Amino acid sequence: MAKKQSQQSSHLSQNDKNRIRLLTPALRKELKRPQGLLIEGPFEETTKRLKELIEEEKPSLIISVGDIVSRNMIEYGVSANVLIVDNKVMRKPIQPITVDADQTLYAKNPPGAITDEAWAAIRNAVEQKGQTRVMIEGEEDLLTLAVVLAAPNGAMVVYGQPHVGIVVVKVTEETKERMRVIVDAMEDSSKS
């Protein structure tokens, strides 16, 4: 039995079963900028600051997007409720992350896109109890947008900023609206 999802929480309606949102050149430039708090430095420093932020903010949910940030969070003792990975770094295959997740969900999501399948897996993951790993076949880079829209207010989303550090996004109505504007500006396509 499928639960009815509000457009606000999922940004997909039942009529969007085949929707794929594609990144445009203008949005690519916009998304190179951090979409939250940038914490610069090596992993040890960024993870230490992340731990402090988690202690201060006490987020309702912690979600990591990306293999390096997820691996470093595990290595430095920061537990994420949801980890979204694709077993790649900069599109090159890496050794899969070892984590005893309570469940693993799978979705396809090509580079430069957000698919309905990935969105549904993310929505499902944030509703689960325990730790959930979402394994993406393709690329997870743009899924931070879907994560912020699917996550409850008060959640914390962490993703890597290549060669710089990590970005922490506190989920609020304001951050959801910013992400919604970006997603709405993406090119709409559908599976053939």
In a domain, 100, yes or no: yes
Euclidean distance between CA atoms 119 and 11, whole angstroms = 9
**End-to-end Cα, the chain, rounded Å:** 27
In a domain, 4, yes or no: no
Query: From the CB of residue 48, how many other CB atoms can be counted at a distance below 10 Å?
Result: 14
Q: What is the DSSP letter of 136?
A: E
By the 8 A CB rule, do 150 and 10 touch? yes
pTM, whole model, 2 decimals?
A: 0.88
Q: How many domains does the chain have?
A: 1
- Per residue of the chain (192 residues), what is the pLDDT tens digit? 333 333 333 444 444 557 899 999 999 988 999 999 999 999 999 999 999 999 999 999 999 999 999 999 999 999 999 999 999 988 788 888 888 899 999 999 999 999 999 999 999 999 999 999 999 999 999 999 999 999 999 999 999 999 999 999 999 999 999 999 999 999 998 754
**Domain span holding position 164:** 22-28+35-190
In a domain, 70, yes or no: yes
What is residue 17's predicted lDDT score, i.e. its pLDDT? 53
Query: What residue ranges in 143-183 does DSSP mark as E strands?
Result: 156-161, 165-170
By the 8 A CB rule, do 159 and 144 touch? yes
What is residue 55's predicted lDDT score, i.e. its pLDDT? 97
What is residue 191's predicted lDDT score, i.e. its pLDDT? 53
Q: Which residues of 121-134 are buried (b: 16+ CB within 10 A; e: fewer)?
A: bbbbbbeeeebbbb
Euclidean distance between CA atoms 163 and 72, whole angstroms = 14
By the 8 A CB rule, do 143 and 66 touch? no
In a domain, 92, yes or no: yes
In a domain, 111, yes or no: yes
CB-based burial label for 74 (10 Å; 0-12, 13-18, 19+): middle
Q: DSSP labels for 13-37?
A: -GGGTTEEEE--HHHHHHHHS-SSE
In a domain, 167, yes or no: yes
Can you give the length of the chain in residues? 192
